[in-house]
Structure 1
Amino acid sequence: MDTQDIIQHFAEQTHPDELEQFDRASLQELVAKHETPFMVLDLEEVDYQFKSLQAALPNTKLFYALKSLSHPELIKRLKKLGSYFDLATIGEVELVESLGITGDQCIHTHPIKKDKEIKRALEFGCTRFVVDNFAEMQKFYPYAGQVELIIRVSFRSPQAVVDLSRKFGCTLEELPRLVDDAAAHGISVVGLSFHVGSQSMSPMTHVNAVRSSVAAMKVMSHVDWKFLDIGGGFPIVYQESVSPIADFCVPINEALAELPQGVDVFAEPGRFISGPAMIEVVSVVGKAKRGARMWYYLDDGVYGGFSGQMFDHAAYPIAPLKPFDPTGEFFPSVLAGPTCDSIDVVAEDIELPELEVGDILIGKQMGAYTIASATEFNYYPKPKVVVVEDIFDPESEAL
């Protein structure tokens, strides 16, 4: 199914109300206070997503992947919830350090690093690093005795929306030689890691990777294994349904029960926590009939908050804020972004009621890989972020 098929969520005879879980009055209040476009970060939803995943993986330490959304209020909320943090760059190290997070609460997971990145992480107090090749292992020779290494193994995942093992991870056949090379230079290898891919639609990819990792650990029983990092990839709902996280994790937990005694489990959720926690509020700034379809021009597009459509292969649910009329007429429409580039189209062949300039639309599930990859092309500024406590609760007075 391509993006155009996915995003045509109004095309059924009975049109669902895509904003039914939101308090429209609170959204209207936000629109009155803030000029569009803007993102709304809901901290209560951060709580809900984190606690749901923790309940689904009760024996796993969650290391939030900052790359998906690194807003300071989100990080502070996760710190309060007891989260750990997955870092990959000096910038991320310095961000969490500025928020009072310590190095022992973090893991540095980028498989490829400059020496200055290793030094900065060690200065911060983060001593656990990921490697996946011999050239990277050599960078740690000078730091023997100061670091604990986790070796990332590749498990390809055609079911994932983004197959991260295409770019990173050694093969299982290479693993013993990497472990031996570390031992020969006095470096401690303490764990294995993998990432089955972003937005993984089947838990069996995790299960197979866990079982292969367990088998490798048992073969190399001379190593003092301390950790297995199962990465991220836990799916959220965009346009298609996914398994509830509690169900998704059942077979993963069964596989993890086979780990040797004393091995702790890490996970690196990013999208699962940040994705549902943010919406975007945009407005119609222009309209034109072109052929059989009405084109509506929005004040943000794929170069801004909707950048995940380009970089993350996401198709976000989007709907008008004005009251929903299921008996009203819907028309084939296009939602276009504001820039001068013709690629800047948010949705094609979407069916909408007739809109007017100034009407507001809401994009849902827009926390992950959106503002994180937004640009300022054409000198349009990135959408600002408004932080609230509960945009889903009609009784909320935190707005």
Structure 2
Amino acid sequence: MTIVPTAPGAAVLRAAERIPTPALLLDLDAVSATVGALRDDLACLGDPVLLFALKANRFPPLLRHLAGLGVGADAASPAEWRAARDAGMSPVSVTGPGLTGADLASMAREGALVDVDGLDQLRALTRAPDPPAEIGLRLRVPVAEADRTAGRRLSRFGVDPASPELHRLLAGTGTRVTRLHVHSGEIGTPRRAERLAAALAACTRVFPEVRELNLGGGFTALYADRRRAREAWERVAAGLAGAQVRVLLEPGMLLTALAGFLVVSLRSVDAHPDLGRCATADASGWNLFTWGRPRVVARMPERGGTPEPHLIAGVTCYENDVLAEEVTLPPLREGDRLVFNAAGAYTASMARDLHGWGRPREVAVGGSGGGGV
């Protein structure tokens, strides 16, 4: 049981038949449905604030559509901040280790919720012209087990809430901490969600002026089973019972990954002694599929024939440029189109450009915010 679409809708398939390729199609109606379902699941938390993580996708029609749904933004760079602001998203939470004190002060003056990531950043912020009187703090927490590298247990991001230097700096400037923020990779299980909420709740005793708790993002694995996700939110709600705080959440991939589709045309299809039939597409898996391995969900035109294994190779000269392996389909031909799912997050935003083939065009399908087909 999931809250995200599992197959392209009719509007996506109609667009995929006629659009010049390669192209990334984003189904805005699917995004709306996912946002609505997520809000239903989060009802036990009162009225939590959703902040879309812009690192997943900065496509302006998408951001305008999310703004129309009342979804805010999580930004980690000046470019992401400008994209959220220009799309009318509100509120916008800003945190990131590369932001200067001047960056954060400027964004705060324009209404951003700024969360400090480290002590040096805090020092720089307090030295900036017209620093904010109220800030948030990103707290250093253990990283998810799947994200640990080189034996590191604690995240490299955030501050230690018990640091004497942190409290000295805050006292010396009179800066008030009104928000606490954690993000440590995929939450994954109800137990991890419960522990993160408990850690934040405990820290409110150290920072009694806190009015907002931001649990970050990383909910995609959790939503492999919607019942388990609902259990997680119920545990979080129980852990925060009685606390006078607003909850903020930062979904990214969950909202858009399966609402996005890559459409490619095949440049050639050749027999290969090791690979079966090797089809070369007009896009590159190496350039586009950095964090995922989408699968083929549609083929155009449909035709019969005995299914055979195919390797769908990318357009570059890199030996391991592959869009999909061992795809069993009736024999493909030059000029056929394929539609891949799971291309709505971390595809365009992380795209490389080996050989200068360029990025696929991005097109919004459905919705009412403009930019659709």
Settle same-fold status: TM greater than 0.5. yes
> Relative to structure 1, is the Cα distance of residues 115 and 216 closer, same or farther in structure 2, using a 3 angstrom cutoff?
closer
- Once the two structures are superposed, residues 213-236 of structure 1 have per-residue CA deviations (whole angstroms, 9 ceiling, x without a partner) of 222323x2x621211100011116
Amino acid at match of 1:377: L
Residues 1:135 and 2:131 aligned together: no
The residue that corresponds to 1:55 in the other structure is 40
Q: Following superposition of structure 1 onto structure 2, how do residues 90-101 of structure 1 map, counting pairs within 5 Å?
A: 90-101=78-89
Residues 1:185 and 2:173 aligned together: yes
Mind listing any 5+ residue stretches in structure 1 that lack a counterpart?
1-18, 391-397
Q: How far apart, in 2, do the equivalents of 1:371 and 1:377 lie?
A: 14
**Cα pair 1:276 1:366 within 8 Å, conserved:** yes
Query: C-alpha displacement at 1:80, in angstroms?
Result: 1.2
Q: How far apart, in 1, do the equivalents of 2:58 and 2:162 lie?
A: 36
- Correspondence for 1:65 among 53, 74, 79: 53
Q: How far apart, in 2, do the equivalents of 1:123 and 1:116 lie?
A: 11
Q: How far apart, in 2, do the equivalents of 1:125 and 1:116 lie?
A: 14
Query: C-alpha displacement at 1:341, in angstroms?
Result: 1.9
Query: C-alpha displacement at 1:75, in angstroms?
Result: 1.1
Q: How far apart, in 1, do the equivalents of 2:35 and 2:6 lie?
A: 23
Q: Tell me whether 156-165 or 258-267 shows the greater mean CA deviation.
A: 156-165
- Correspondence for 2:352 among 361, 375, 387: 375
**Cα pair 2:105 2:131 within 8 Å, conserved:** no
Query: C-alpha displacement at 1:36, in angstroms?
Result: 1.0
- Correspondence for 2:255 among 269, 273, 277: 273
The residue that corresponds to 1:150 in the other structure is 137
- Correspondence for 1:255 among 236, 247, 255: 236
Amino acid at match of 1:299: D
Matched residue of 1:257: which SS? helix
The residue that corresponds to 1:302 in the other structure is 285
Q: How far apart, in 1, do the equivalents of 2:267 and 2:54 lie?
A: 33
Residues 1:321 and 2:316 aligned together: no
**Cα pair 1:145 1:186 within 8 Å, conserved:** no
Residues 1:331 and 2:317 aligned together: no
> Relative to structure 1, is the Cα distance of residues 236 and 387 closer, same or farther in structure 2, using a 3 angstrom cutoff?
farther
Q: How far apart, in 1, do the equivalents of 2:204 and 2:124 lie?
A: 24
> Relative to structure 1, is the Cα distance of residues 90 and 120 closer, same or farther in structure 2, using a 3 angstrom cutoff?
farther
Q: How far apart, in 2, do the equivalents of 1:328 and 1:32 lie?
A: 21
> Relative to structure 1, is the Cα distance of residues 93 and 34 closer, same or farther in structure 2, using a 3 angstrom cutoff?
same
Query: C-alpha displacement at 1:47, in angstroms?
Result: 0.5
Residues 1:117 and 2:134 aligned together: no
Mind listing any 5+ residue stretches in structure 2 that lack a counterpart?
none
Matched residue of 1:97: which SS? helix
Sequence identity, in percent?
Answer: 22
Amino acid at match of 1:231: G
Query: C-alpha displacement at 1:71, in angstroms?
Result: 1.2
- Correspondence for 1:225 among 197, 207, 210: 210
> Relative to structure 1, is the Cα distance of residues 51 and 192 closer, same or farther in structure 2, using a 3 angstrom cutoff?
same
The residue that corresponds to 1:107 in the other structure is 93
- Once the two structures are superposed, residues 54-108 of structure 1 have per-residue CA deviations (whole angstroms, 9 ceiling, x without a partner) of 1111221111111111111111111111111112221122223323446xx2111
**Cα pair 1:164 1:196 within 8 Å, conserved:** no
Q: Tell me whether 113-122 or 64-73 shows the greater mean CA deviation.
A: 113-122
TM-score for both structures, normalised by structure 2: 0.85
> Relative to structure 1, is the Cα distance of residues 263 and 302 closer, same or farther in structure 2, using a 3 angstrom cutoff?
same
The residue that corresponds to 1:264 in the other structure is 246
**Cα pair 2:63 2:89 within 8 Å, conserved:** no
The residue that corresponds to 2:25 in the other structure is 40
> Relative to structure 1, is the Cα distance of residues 120 and 151 closer, same or farther in structure 2, using a 3 angstrom cutoff?
same
- Correspondence for 1:169 among 158, 162, 180: 158
> Relative to structure 1, is the Cα distance of residues 36 and 21 closer, same or farther in structure 2, using a 3 angstrom cutoff?
same
**Cα pair 2:96 2:117 within 8 Å, conserved:** no
Please provide the CA RMSD for this pair. Answer: 3.0
> Relative to structure 1, is the Cα distance of residues 236 and 40 closer, same or farther in structure 2, using a 3 angstrom cutoff?
farther
Amino acid at match of 2:258: P
Q: How far apart, in 1, do the equivalents of 2:193 and 2:265 lie?
A: 40
Q: How far apart, in 1, do the equivalents of 2:153 and 2:363 lie?
A: 31
**Cα pair 1:64 1:85 within 8 Å, conserved:** yes
**Cα pair 1:66 1:86 within 8 Å, conserved:** yes
**Cα pair 1:297 1:338 within 8 Å, conserved:** yes
**Cα pair 1:65 1:86 within 8 Å, conserved:** yes
Q: How far apart, in 2, do the equivalents of 1:165 and 1:191 lie?
A: 21
Query: C-alpha displacement at 1:196, in angstroms?
Result: 3.1
> Relative to structure 1, is the Cα distance of residues 164 and 184 closer, same or farther in structure 2, using a 3 angstrom cutoff?
same
Q: How far apart, in 1, do the equivalents of 2:248 and 2:311 lie?
A: 43
Q: How far apart, in 2, do the equivalents of 1:95 and 1:23 lie?
A: 28
- Once the two structures are superposed, residues 96-150 of structure 1 have per-residue CA deviations (whole angstroms, 9 ceiling, x without a partner) of 3323446xx2111224412342243134222x22223221221122355544222
